[in-house]
Structure 1
Amino acid sequence: MEWYLPVIWGLIIGVAVIMYVVLDGFDLGIGILFPFAKEEKERDVMMNTVAPFWDGNETWLILGGGGLWVAFPKAYAVVMPALYLPVIIMLLALVFRGVAFEFRWVAASSRRLWNFAFSAGSLVAAFFQGIILGGLVQGITVKDGAFAGGPLDWATPFALLCGVGVVVGYALLGATWLLVKTEGFIADRARSHAIPLLLAVVVLMGLVSLWTPLAFDRIATRWFSRPNIFFLAPVPIITAVLTYLVWHWLKTGREMLPFFGTIGLFVLGFLGLAISTFPYLVPPSLTVWQTAAAPPSQILMLFGVIFLLPVVLGYIVFVYWIFRGKVREGEGYH
């Protein structure tokens, strides 16, 4: 087997996951922050900041899940039974949120109901994305190449902590996105939310960073054995510096920098988890090479990705450029 093909596909899936987390994260964050808006016109502006983007952002979820299925079918066959329930709940929440997004504009008499649906769908989807992440990091019971655990193995305190962490992180992304796209009292309220959310994210990231090496020997070995500790030390140091910078930018009234700084924190967090688990695609037993599809299948699908990925990236750049600038009361794209 060509050793590099699973590595390439692992990188593609990793890029798809981080793109989804960042892009769909801020519009899920808008939904999580929805109940804190004081007036309906404020919610209208908040929703209009993501109206041109939210459905396109979910493209990356399809690429990540589809890539896992075609490039690593053995991993897909293990991960899905292990995390079936949280995956189904997450997908239903995303569907519910999408329906609420569309119906809210036309169903004026039941707008409160759709406000709740939009917010609840966003919250539940974010929470169970964190549950799925925690379930993967803590490990899946595998015997003879198949899932051998129970249907609720994922329901652990560590996975619940990851779920809360993703919710708070998405809320921070949403708040900093509002700084970029709004002004006046909406931006002021978003800034007031962003500072305590940043502190909460730091605490939760710290708890996860401490929990993983203490609970999982394989992760402690990866981070604290020599010479790894010297090569990996810059990751937490850069994270601490970037956290301070985001806090400083929020305090000094910056608009764009807090959002991109928060994206940087997500990327660093994802990088840390990738370092902790690679080369295991199904920790702690199945690697990317053990779960990979036949090389001809990987090569065939790779040609498709090479063609389509630039198209998707070009579309994203085009849409974000077209709909750049502030969204003001009374303006919208719905």
Structure 2
Amino acid sequence: MDVAYWLPVAWFAVIAFGVFMYVVLDGFVLGLGVLAPLVRDEAQLDAMMNTAAPIWDGNETWLVLGGAGLLAAFPAAYAAILPALYLPVLLMLVALVFRGVAFEFRFKAVRTRRLWGWAFAAGSICTAFWQGVILGALVRGLPVSGGDAWLWLHPFALLTGVALVAGYALLGATWLVLKTSSGLQALARRLARPLVLAVAGFMVVVSACLPFLNSRVMARWFSDGHFWWLSPVPLLAALVVWALWRMAAHPARDARPFVLALALFALAYAGLLLGMWPYLVPPSLTVWQAAAPPSSQAFMLVGVVCLLPLILGYTAWSYYVFRGKLEPGQGYH
């Protein structure tokens, strides 16, 4: 195994890690927006948004890392993905901007305060949906050269879009259980249980569809005896769903639902990566076929090795500084 083999693997790990960090860190903030229409009044929405106000700005760093890493380390994959998914990527970015503007403007507005609250919810829901559509289209399979610009408009991709909205809502509900108390926490607990069932149902349906896609993602699970060593992933996911169902309504367990929701996302993500490997763009483009020259990958990897600890450091520090529950009167107004 030479450097040309291991460098693409290392870059695949970096990009996968960056995307996962974005999903879990910005996922619960998007989940807050998904749940925003369900709060009782403006005071509850204030508290909901204030739980994320000090930490949400840095989340897009991970999205930039994943996108820039894909362009720099796997230009062939970038060239295949962007033309086929240009419209959903554009709509996702517009929704992200809309969500960010609404988040900031709502705290300053007076007469249009409620309008910006609805804008925050709409931007969050659309962002989550389009991210799921992009994931579903990629998993379904993309042409390496050319192709239909509407290829993403498929029932499976739309299904994963709705599934990710539900998943982010679950992250948001468990985050509120962790960070709030009294009425808002009670609402989050009431929402968490049906969301657990919805997410578990979507995971089952999506997983059942995967072996029948043209991309053959997940086909390796059922060939050459792979299922026996991969089977702990769905078994652990089922166990986490059961534990999350129990902990979501437990009055003395505020941190565990959020930790379990993160674990459920991690297991689903791990199962997807194991099913896709070694393809970066299913069904035909592997990490080695899509890779940039080894000299380019090695040069850029030095920068990532230097920057990644800094990003992890300031992210961990911000969460440490703003740890604990949000007390009444704290945050922006």
List alignment gaps of at least 5 residues for structure 1: none
| RMSD of aligned alpha carbons | 1.1
2:280 is paired with a residue whose SS is strand
What is the one-letter code of the residue matched to 2:98? F
What is the one-letter code of the residue matched to 1:316? T
Percent sequence identity is: 54
Distance 1:78 1:220, change over 3 A: closer
Distance 1:319 1:220, change over 3 A: closer
**Aligned position for 1:180:** 178
What is the one-letter code of the residue matched to 2:95? A
**Aligned position for 1:205:** 203
Distance 1:221 1:256 in 2: 36
What are the superposed Cα offsets for residues 107-128 of structure 1, whole Å, 9 maximum, x if unpaired?
A: 1110111111100000000000
**Aligned position for 2:309:** 310
**Aligned position for 1:43:** 45
Say whether the 8 Å CA contact 1:100–1:115 is kept in structure 2: yes
Distance 2:154 2:215 in 1: 18
Alignment of 1:26-105 (within 5 A): 26-105=28-107
What is the one-letter code of the residue matched to 1:31? G
Distance 1:71 1:310 in 2: 20
Distance 1:167 1:190 in 2: 16
Equivalent in 236, 242, 245 of residue 244 of structure 1:
242
**Aligned position for 2:322:** 323
**Aligned position for 1:284:** 283
Distance 1:221 1:198 in 2: 27
List alignment gaps of at least 5 residues for structure 2: none
TM-score normalised per structure 1: 0.97
Say whether the 8 Å CA contact 1:30–1:174 is kept in structure 2: yes
The more displaced of 178-187 and 215-224 is 215-224
Distance 1:302 1:215 in 2: 34
Distance 1:49 1:215, change over 3 A: same
Q: Which runs of 4+ in 1 moved over 4 A?
A: none
1:65 is paired with a residue whose SS is helix
In the TM superposition, what is the alpha-carbon distance from 1:251 to its structure 2 partner? Answer: 2.7
Distance 1:283 1:221 in 2: 12
The more displaced of 167-176 and 211-220 is 211-220
Distance 1:89 1:287 in 2: 27
Distance 2:218 2:93 in 1: 33
In the TM superposition, what is the alpha-carbon distance from 1:329 to its structure 2 partner? Answer: 2.6
Equivalent in 15, 18, 23 of residue 16 of structure 1:
18
In the TM superposition, what is the alpha-carbon distance from 1:217 to its structure 2 partner? Answer: 7.1
Distance 2:166 2:227 in 1: 29
Say whether the 8 Å CA contact 1:165–1:204 is kept in structure 2: yes
Distance 1:174 1:95 in 2: 20
What are the superposed Cα offsets for residues 176-235 of structure 1, whole Å, 9 maximum, x if unpaired?
A: 000111000000000000000000000000000101113347235311123201111111
**Aligned position for 1:295:** 294
TM-score normalised per structure 2: 0.97
Distance 2:328 2:63 in 1: 31
Distance 2:153 2:254 in 1: 38
Distance 2:219 2:166 in 1: 29
In the TM superposition, what is the alpha-carbon distance from 1:321 to its structure 2 partner? Answer: 0.5
**Aligned position for 1:154:** 152
What are the superposed Cα offsets for residues 82-126 of structure 1, whole Å, 9 maximum, x if unpaired?
A: 100000000010001101111111111101111111000000000
What is the one-letter code of the residue matched to 2:74? F
What are the superposed Cα offsets for residues 139-184 of structure 1, whole Å, 9 maximum, x if unpaired?
A: 0022xxx2x2111100100001100010000000000000111000
Say whether the 8 Å CA contact 2:85–2:149 is kept in structure 1: yes
**Aligned position for 1:194:** 192
**Aligned position for 1:269:** 268
Say whether the 8 Å CA contact 1:41–1:329 is kept in structure 2: no
In the TM superposition, what is the alpha-carbon distance from 1:252 to its structure 2 partner? Answer: 2.1
Distance 1:220 1:61 in 2: 25
What are the superposed Cα offsets for residues 58-95 of structure 1, whole Å, 9 maximum, x if unpaired?
A: 11000000000100011101100010000000001000
Distance 1:235 1:213 in 2: 16
Distance 1:244 1:263 in 2: 14
Q: Tell me the matched-pair count.
A: 330
Distance 2:4 2:147 in 1: 31
The more displaced of 181-190 and 296-305 is 296-305
What are the superposed Cα offsets for residues 265-322 of structure 1, whole Å, 9 maximum, x if unpaired?
A: 1111111111111111111011110111111111111111111100010001110010
Distance 2:292 2:274 in 1: 23
